[in-house]
Each structure stands twice: as C-alpha cells, then as structure tokens.
Chains A and B, each alone.
Chain A
Amino acid sequence: RKEVEQDPGPFNVPEGATVAFNCTYSNSASQSFFWYRQDCRKEPKLLMSVYSSGNEDGRFTAQLNRASQYISLLIRDSKLSDSATYLCVVNTNAGKSTFGDGTTLTVKP
C-alpha cells in the first residue's frame, strides 16, 4: 500500500461545477499537509496548506481528518484555468515528504 494515495481521475467537469478530491495517508505521525497544483511539464506550485480546522481560499476549501487520515480539496465554481493535476503532500516531523500520484482535472466549457 502506498503511503499517500489519491484517486488518479481523470475528473472531467463542466465550467461552474463543484469537484472534490480526496487523499489518504498511512503514517499517523504525519505533521503537515499541503495541496499543490502542477501544470503540464511544469514544476508543482503551492495551492494551499491544510490545517486541522479546515481552511478556505476563495473557491478552494481544504479539510483534514486526522482520525480517518485523509485530506480533501473542494473546488467550487470551476474555471477552465483550474485544469491541472492536483497533488497532495504529507510531511512527517522527521522532514520526510511524500507526494500522492496526483489527480487530473479537466474543466470543459
């Protein structure tokens, strides 16, 4: 079993749709959590950190469930420009960082 697992998708949604991605992790010692966005053939860029209380940034909402060991990302009112691969990242306190394989989103007109 992988340490961090994501549904690979692809998710194909129309503009304006709401879409949710989940990411599960197996290491209960994990300390910090992030969502990154990666465009084709580019480096990943931070989308948002994930806090225990949940956090929102515009159309994006991230949640953390430590008991069930998963994090989620909700995108509301999808835009064409949201099309990308979304990667979840889990860090342990020892500094080891594990990425999920990514979920591909395509938003269509």
Chain B
Amino acid sequence: DGGITQSPKYLFRKEGQNVTLSCEQNLNHDAMYWYRQDPGQGLRLIYYSQIVNDFQKGDIAEGYSVSREKKESFPLTVTSAQKNPTAFYLCASSIGRVETQYFGPGTRLLVL
C-alpha cells in the first residue's frame, strides 16, 4: 500500500520541550512539505524540500526545524522557541515541485 504516514496521531508537549513529528512516504516522491493548520484557518507552509539534503523555509519556519536525509522521510521538530505550537500538523509529498500534493493523516500537537 503506497501512501504517506504520520506519527503520532496526537502528541503532547510540555513547556520548554522539543518534540519531533514523523513523516514517511513510500510513493517515491521527490518533494515533501510540512504545513500547520490552526482551527478555522487554512494551511500555512512551514518547510519544504525538493530533494534529499536540501530544504527551504516556508512562511512560518521560526521555531521549527527539519531534515531530509532520506528521500522517504521528512521529520519536523517543534522547538521550545515555538511559543504557540498547538495546531494540526500536516505532511505532504509530490512527484515534483509543481505537482499534486498528497497528504498524510496529520498530527495534532497539544501543549500541556
């Protein structure tokens, strides 16, 4: 079964803690993306990567970091510098940079 998986489904973060959200795809897609969605709002781009070992900041990269060491994996770390991390985080991938994006089921991050 080809697709995008994200884990965990729910994640709880304590104040001052870094947490890492997992995103894996077996679609052989080159491009991968991370978005944040707040209630009642659209998706905002955090980071994107067109190729292994390369990534670019999106519109709201502050307080987040990513890595792209493997084609199929694009983990997102929410650092303690992100003061309002509670949101729905969505990972997506596409064959190329202007192509259709396919989304994982998302991770809901809550701050304790």
Contact = CB atoms under 8 A, between A and B. Distances in A.
Q: Which of B44, B103, B105 gathers the greatest number of chain A CB atoms within 10 Å?
A: B103
Contacts of A64: none
B27 interface: no
Contact of B42 (A31, A32, A42, A101): A101
A45 B97 CA distance: 18
A44 B102 CA distance: 8
A78 to B, nearest CB: 22
Contact of A49 (B33, B41, B100): B100
B100 A97 contact: no
Interface string B50-73: 100000101100000000000000
Interface stretch (A12-20, A67-75, A88-96): A88-96
B80 interface: no
A102 to B, nearest CB: 5
A99 interface: yes
Interface residue range, chain B:
20 to 34
Contacts of A43: 90, 103-106
Contact of B41 (A41, A94, A97, A101): A101
Contacts, number: 57
Contacts of B58: 96
A21 interface: no
Interface in A38-54: 41-46, 49
A55 interface: no
A34 B94 CA distance: 13
B102 A99 contact: no
Contacts of B87: none
B101 A95 contact: no
B104 A32 contact: no
Contact of B98 (A31, A87, A98, A101): A31
Interface string A1-25: 0000010000000000000000000
Given A44-B103, A99-B35, A93 B98 contact: yes
